[in-house]
Structure 1
């Protein structure tokens, strides 16, 4: 989990590295916290940017909500990583574990229930972890994702900065762990539809949005295949992909066509086994 300067250089350009060094020297890294290998921080730039890195992941799995769209990671992430080279924040994981171990079970259950009642996203993740299926429709999920687009840049109709889709990808992954593939499909489809509908508004961080779209599309296809070759599910999924290929964002059409062809091929291979 040790971070070296050379490791940081490997994930950014030389110019970005120098800017990150300057940001750190200027004291722009604030509110830095670490739990296990995950580090979060706020970095001051033209505004306050949220940064998250995983010190144990290959390439640090960086996230920043700035509009940087160049090669490698941004100067805000670099500043946080460089802070971890010489002055890594203390791990708060032990403190959390101690608090959990010392908590009364009934009080902890009551606290958790209260949080679940007031936080729909947390409730979704908890129920997914417990093996339950999703309570939300594709339209409901798409609406919540659309809202994130609106919140990113409320004064304009264009989106310059990345949107953090982590909570929905994490939710889909949790459903997949529990083999709730239909629920995962619903989450992925909500992501696909929202990204497709909003892609023409994007005017920055293109790689970020394209990567999220491809990830959601691949996840959707994988989950359709995993639904035990249910004929109706496959038929509906292919129809959805074909329809989006003709009616959605033009430059995404080839991705929908590829996904539909891949789905037909995978299902065909399974039927021959």
Structure 2
């Protein structure tokens, strides 16, 4: 779990590294915590930005809610990682373990239920973690994703800054890890549809939105191919992709076409007959 400056340098540009060094020197890291290998922090910039990194993962799996859309990690992430080079925050994992071990089961259940009742995102991830399939449709997921586009710049139709789709990708990944591929495919499809329909609103951060779209479409194809073991089900998915290729955003059509070709190949395999 050693963090070196060279490892940090590998995930950002030289210019961003310099800005991260300056942010660290200026004391812009307002709050920082570590549980096991996960570090969370608040970094002060034009506003307060939330940062998360995993010190045990190659490349640190950086996440920040800032609008940076350049190559590599942003200056807020870099500042936090540079802080961890020489001064990692104390691990609070043992404290959490002790608190959990000492808590009464009824108290834990009551606390968890209260949190789940008011946090839909947490509720979805909890149900996915314990092995429940989603009861939400593609359209229901799309409603919440589309709302994120509308809330980003409510006074104008145009979206200038990146949108954080982490909660849906994390949810899809949770379903995928639990072997609930159909549920994961539902989330991925909602993301792909929403990004396709809203791409005309995007005026900036194109790489961010294109990357999110590709990730969602790849996830959808992968989950459909794994979840469905008959040619008819694959054919239905191909029909969706073909329709999107002709009715969606023109410059994304090729991606839908390639995805349809990939699924057609799956349908021709003996295991799908």
Deviations for 1:233-258, whole angstroms, at most 9, x for unmatched residues?
21221111111111111111111111
Q: Structure 1 residues 212 and 125, CA, compared in 2 at 3 Å: closer, same or farther?
A: same
The 5 Å alignment of 1:92-111 reads 92-111=92-111
Runs (5+) with no aligned partner, structure 2 = none
Shift of 1:261: 0.5
Q: Which runs of 4+ in 1 moved over 6 A?
A: none
Q: What residue in structure 2 maps to residue 234 of structure 1?
A: 234
Contact 1:33 1:89 in 2 (8 A): yes
Q: Structure 1 residues 126 and 59, CA, compared in 2 at 3 Å: closer, same or farther?
A: same
Tell me the distance in 1 between the aligned counterparts of 2:130 and 2:63: 28
Contact 1:17 1:75 in 2 (8 A): yes
Deviations for 1:99-147, whole angstroms, at most 9, x for unmatched residues?
1111101211122122222222222212222221111111110111122
Contact 2:231 2:267 in 1 (8 A): no
Please give the TM-score of this superposition, normalised by the length of structure 2.
Answer: 0.93
Tell me the distance in 1 between the aligned counterparts of 2:107 and 2:65: 36
Contact 2:230 2:267 in 1 (8 A): no
Tell me the distance in 2 between the aligned counterparts of 1:155 and 1:84: 40
Tell me the distance in 1 between the aligned counterparts of 2:164 and 2:173: 16
The 5 Å alignment of 1:209-248 reads 209-248=209-248
Residues 133-142 or 49-58, more deviating: 49-58
Residues 3-12 or 69-78, more deviating: 69-78
Aligned length: 273
Tell me the distance in 2 between the aligned counterparts of 1:177 and 1:11: 27
When the two chains are superposed, the root-mean-square deviation of aligned CA atoms in Å is 1.8
The 5 Å alignment of 1:1-273 reads 1-271=1-271
Please give the TM-score of this superposition, normalised by the length of structure 1.
Answer: 0.93
Tell me the distance in 2 between the aligned counterparts of 1:210 and 1:223: 20
Contact 1:65 1:161 in 2 (8 A): no
Runs (5+) with no aligned partner, structure 1 = none
Tell me the distance in 2 between the aligned counterparts of 1:228 and 1:270: 13
Residues 158-167 or 106-115, more deviating: 158-167
